[in-house]
Chains A and B, each alone.
Chain A
């Protein structure tokens, strides 16, 4: 049981480049989300999805796109990378319902130069 798998682990981009961070879970979780973690700012929600075909914005969605074509996968796309997007990105999933634990992936460390 792999849980939540994120790829890549590390990535360096130049300003203006685009890329996709991959996230897959094998727990049949309905809920999936993306957070970014910056020093002194905790974890901030970028986008989330409550099921295949349904996505919504979180606290900091600008510059990011998501889609949810299957229950398992929830990729995060950076359209035109900016230095302000340098961060550690975590994908997380859970079952539906209050109190279901949020399972995090191992994170992707992204640097934009």
Chain B
């Protein structure tokens, strides 16, 4: 089955700097790659996603890139703000039931002001 590895496990950045979180997946048939943000004590919420027919997607300060050949994808956050502090999870899935997601272990992002 699918295996998703996520790095780093923790990341501290200064407010205004950029943050990059990377994930690799094992199943070449995976074709959907979402990212979730989970604030302390809250539920995970989708922040951005990308499909395998797209190499990059951007939404304001957040972008995701996908390299299908290398089977890895990354989350980029620019101009970080204290409210970006949270746990971020990458995930991968395939098939019609694209929401049978396999998650990475998560990255704790701390933005220092």
Contact = CB atoms under 8 A, between A and B. Distances in A.
Interface of A: 31, 33, 35, 40-45, 48, 50, 58-59, 90, 92, 94, 96-102, 104-107
B101 A45 contact: yes
10 contacts: A35-B103, A42-B6, A97-B96, A98-B93, A98-B96, A98-B98, A101-B34, A101-B46, A102-B34, A102-B101
Contacts, number: 66
B43 interface: yes
A96 B97 contact: yes
A31 B101 CA distance: 12
Given A42-B105, A42-B106, A99-B32, A33 B43 contact: no
B18 interface: no
Interface residues on chain B, size class: 20 to 34
A33 B100 contact: yes
Given A41-B105, A104-B44, 4 more contacts: A42-B89, A45-B100, A101-B34, A107-B43
Interface string B1-16: 1001010010000000
A94 B100 CA distance: 10
B99 interface: yes
B99 A100 contact: yes
Contacts of B49: 99, 101
Interface string B21-34: 00000000001101
B62 interface: no
Contacts of B91: 43
Contacts of A104: 43-45
Nearest to A4: B43
A102 B99 contact: yes
